[in-house]
Amino acid sequence: MTKGLPTGPLCTRASLAAELRELGVLSGETLLLHSSLSSLGWVCGGPVAVVQALLDVLGATGTLVVPTQTPDNSDPAEWRYPPVPEEWWPEIRDSTPAYDPRTTPSRGMGMIAETVRTWPGSLRSAHPQTSFAAVESRAAAVTDGHATDCRLGEQSPLARLEEQGARVLLLGVGFASCTAFHLAEYRIPSPVVDSARAVLTPAGRRWETVREVSITSDRFEELGADFEERGPGPVVCGRIGAADVRLFSLADAVAHAEVWLAEHRPGTSGSRKSPPAPEPPAGNGR
C-alpha cells in the first residue's frame, strides 16, 4: 500500500540551526538536550542533521550533552515494561552484558541521543544505568567522575552541568523527560533502594547490587508546569520545525524542584525494595 506524502514541515541542517538561534541557544554554552526526532517533522538527514545543527550553533567552545541511560541493565525481577518469566531471571542475571561506555547502546533516549553517543569524539560517563554522553569543549568535565553508586546526584554529570551554568533544551518532549529534576531528589529526604546491574571490573564481568537514592519522574509534568509559571528564571518557549520546545537554566529547574518536591511529593527516610526497572523517560522519541 502506497503511503501518502509527508506533511512536514521540511527541516534541514540550516533551518534547524536558524530556529535554534532564534530560540536563544548561544554559541559557547553547555546544553543538556532531551529530544524527539519524530516531533520535528520531515528532517533531511535525520538525526545526523539535527546534531550537526546543534553543534553549528554551539560552536567549538560549546558542549552538547544527552542522557544515554540503560535501564534494561537491571534486575529482571523488577521489570514491568514488559515483565519476563520468573524462570528466566537467573540466566538473565548471569548473561546480561556488562555496561561498557564505548559500546552499550542507550535505551529509550531517542535517535538523536544515540547519534550523539556515537559521534566522533563523544565521551560517556561511567554509571551503568544513568550515563550521559557529551561532545565538544567541556565534554570531559561533564562526564568524568560519575560515581557508579550515584545515579543522578552530586557525583553525576547533572551536578557538573549545574556548576557550569548549563541550560536544558526540551525538544519535542515534556517535563516528564527533564532529568535535571532528579538532582533535587538527592537534596531532599528520599528513600534508598537496592539497585542490581552487570558491570565491568578489573577481574571481568560481575553482577552487583548497590544502594542508591530512589528516583522517579512521578508528577514531573506538574512540577514543570509550576516551574514554567513561577520558577526563579524564565522558560523560553517556542517551536523548532513542528516541535514544541522549552529552553531554561538547569540550576533554576533544580532549585525550584527542591522546594516543590519537598512540598508536593515528600520522601520518607529509610530504605525499601528496589522499584521496577525505570521506564524510558516519557516523550524521548525516535
**280 vs 264: CA distance, rounded Å:** 23
- Residue 61's pLDDT is 97
**266 vs 47: CA distance, rounded Å:** 39
Question: Which residue positions in the chain have pLDDT lower than 50?
Answer: 268-286
Query: Are 286 and 111 within 8 A, CB to CB?
Result: yes
- Residue 6's pLDDT is 80
- Predicted confidence (pLDDT) per residue in 91-131, tens digit: 999 999 999 999 999 999 999 999 999 999 999 999 999 99
- Residue 266's pLDDT is 72
CA atoms within 13 A on the CB side of 48: 5
- Residue 274's pLDDT is 41
- Predicted confidence (pLDDT) per residue in 232-275, tens digit: 999 999 999 999 999 999 999 999 999 999 999 875 444 444 44
Q: Which amino acid is at 149?
A: D
Helices (H), the chain: 13-23, 46-58, 89-95, 111-117, 139-143, 157-163, 181-185, 220-230, 250-264
Q: What's the whole-model pTM score?
A: 0.92
